[in-house]
Amino acid sequence: MELDGLFSRLDEVAERLGKHPSRSLLLEYRGLVGELLRREGRANRLREDYRWRRASRTRFVLVERAQEALKEIEAVLDREGERISLLKLMEEVKGCLISLLL
């Protein structure tokens, strides 16, 4: 799938997840984010030691923030009535991915 298609699918799943939070949608969302991060990693040869390279620090921080936000999304799903937090976190993940890939 091309990047545009992956981002479109991510938006679609995020919208459904915001309306009807469920574990199955979260798994689908995480899978799409994972695929986008894998593509970024392949494209830029992202490695764990980037945290020590000044030029690559921004990429490392974006990947880390996207992964943290995914964990927070899972925690929000465990608590009912926090859809606004869920939507904000999904937008944050998307922003990180856009910064990494486009």
- The secondary structure of 2-66 as a DSSP string is -HHHHHHHHHHHHHHHHHS--HHHHHHHHHHHHHHHHHHHHHHT--GGGGG-GGGHHHHHHHHHH
The CA distance from 75 to 101, in Å, is: 26
What is the CATH number that goes with domain 3-101? 1.20.120
pLDDT at 8: 92
For the stretch 49-92, pLDDT in tens is 444 565 567 777 888 888 888 888 888 777 765 677 788 888 88
- pLDDT band per the 50, 70, 90 thresholds, residue 17: confident
pTM: 0.70
Neighbours of 38 (CB within 10 A): 11
Mean pLDDT value across the chain = 79
* 27, amino acid identity: L
